Chain A
């Protein structure tokens, strides 16, 4: 049983309240994830030259090892999460074994890990790392746990940002900045079939929204508007509304922008209990 999002959020913030941004804060955050999100291990990796390269903080040594396996073998949910700028949620690695990440899956299963949930960590829409959550029992992350993981990834971003600005990764940071325009306009779209797919509906109001470059980008007009709609519908504060929006996008594997347009066009409504509802059964959202 997962705690409510309010409790999770409060506890995550509390976990790092008295810790300076950096390695120790990320370790504390990972431990808090294990305590709160119904997972058994957590690790945060940092991005170097566009891909996760090393484990920054972790809840325990076996999580660190599993996280590092992915860099060693160049495959795994965390690598994919950073490359696509989308969360990669794998409730059961046995189903994915031999498919997407044969070597990583074998190593994880040997450790008794079945569920892996990787969330990209971004600063100003630029990927700077990933949060990996590992679970022994197979099964999806519950909604509040997923929303909590988004909070944890945001909190981890602060420590990674601190790392970036403290100079350790500055060279890399600057180069990535120069390439940002290219990343936004080409690679993220080209690498992701869901983003590059032409918009079949051609309906007004949907113009270009698949070309956002970053599937989790919340700095968009439609996202602001949809956030307002959720503030009203769910009777929550703005921060909470954004989080619900992002969590829904993650859970359904869509971009935040797509979900936002569905909310604005009244094709989708998120209910107060957290489960989604549809306002129009005729126009599916998945």
Chain B
């Protein structure tokens, strides 16, 4: 009995040490101070898709290899959030100047019934068409992508005309590895800072 108490105590200690250790590890992976956005490195899958772009071409992640990718979900008839995010990204890209050429914004439409390539193409002209690509997929493709990135998504239904979708901007490095996640409440400076880190620009 004595021995088993000692061993139990030892196990408890080990469990708590492991808990504390993993906590420190997670903190480090999130909070290293050169970065300002939340890290998702090695926690979310690599960029992977097979969709139609706003020019009607079939594209995959390979077409954007070498670019830092900013991916987010939205739709052209979205009343406020989507245009607001696109406006912000346009402003950020402008501040980057020439370096913006190493960046690609992927706007994944969650409204495949209304958003055709042409509609998307015309919509993106309002922002920064040179650095932005609209993506259209089948319901299933959008579903899979949203699920992979833990993004909430509910399409239009007979009961509700609303589309539930995530506001997050998922940021991938030039090799397609998930790196950071940005929210609408993160300041432009933070986004800018982390994009520069990823592009290795001073």
Whether both chains belong to one complex is answered with no
Chain A positions within 8 Å of B, measured between CB atoms, are none
Chain B positions within 8 Å of A, measured between CB atoms, are none
